[in-house]
């Protein structure tokens, strides 16, 4: 059994970062611009773009997560 912190680090964050990277690339940002916006390396963005980072399908399919990713990509703060 994993601790909540492990699930967040191992599954949630990589999934949300991958979703954000995809959303921002879809808005014609370069990998460098996406990396700067997310505070990660350009090579990490490349790995997300090429599916080299394991993601969690349940997290990615959650409509609340999808809506939050879209708002964050637009520059709006997440709803509380």
Q: For residues 69 and 16, is the Cβ–Cβ distance under 8 A?
A: yes
- Is 17:38 a contact under the CB 8 Å cutoff? yes
pTM: 0.83
pLDDT tens string 59-71: 999 999 999 999 9
Calpha distance 60→1 (Å, rounded): 21
Predicted local distance difference test score (pLDDT) of residue 49:
87
């Amino acid at each position: 059994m994993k601790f909540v912190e492990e699930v967040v680090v191992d599954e949630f964050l990589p999934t949300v970062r991958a979703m954000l990277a995809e959303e921002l690339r879809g808005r014609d940002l370069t990998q460098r611009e996406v990396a700067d916006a997310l505070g990660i390396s350009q090579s990490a963005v490349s790995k997300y773009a090429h599916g080299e980072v394991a993601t969690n399908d349940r997290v990615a399919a959650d409509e609340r997560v999808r809506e939050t990713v879209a708002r964050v990509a637009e520059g709006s703060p997440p709803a509380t």
